[in-house]
Structure 1
Amino acid sequence: MKVKIKKWTGVGTWSYKVDYDNCGICRQPFHGCCPYCKWPGETCPVVWGQCTHCFHIHCMAKWLKAQEPREQCPLCRQKWRYA
């Protein structure tokens, strides 16, 4: 018995290669989006610090603004520097 394929549709997924499943600030999954975004993807990327912790970019920006002038990582309290 032979099978003839008439139509084929490829499906792809994306995910960030992170050590954690959720953002350390908002606790939302990285494959989703932060509370400030409507849709996951390129508009809500993940950012890493030199301390190797990662967060949604919007969560980190809001955290840093609230913590001025200290600007520390929310998890380890080291000075925040983007990796």
Structure 2
Amino acid sequence: MKMKIKRWQAVAVWKWDLPDEDDVCGICRNVFDGCCPDCKSPGDDCPLIWGQCSHVFHMHCLLKWLEQESSRGQCPMDRRPFVAASA
């Protein structure tokens, strides 16, 4: 028996209810509009650093990460050697 669909309508749509990964630091998971855990207020004292790998971090979070021996100078997100993107 064959059936032919004459009309189709979507009855539901879903999406993940999570913050956009591009809007949070990959280390501390705080939003970029705010500041890292070490800073008291957002602004120039808490700049963002982009890597050539396209991941973005608060400067203080990244510096702490890279100071750890276990980081081996790698991006915390994809473990490639971290190289800051040039402006």
Q: TM-score range by the shorter chain?
A: 0.7 to 0.9
**TM alignment of 1:23-62, pairs within 5 A:** 23-62=25-64
Runs of 4 or more consecutive aligned structure 1 residues displaced over 2 Å after TM superposition: none
CA RMSD of aligned residues (A): 1.5
Which structure has the larger Rg? 2
Q: Percent identity?
A: 54
Structure 1 unmatched runs, 5+: 1-18
User: If each structure's helix is expressed as a fraction of its own residues, which one has the higher value?
Assistant: 2
2:80: which partner in 1?
A: 78
**TM-score (norm: length of structure 1):** 0.74
Aligned residues: 65
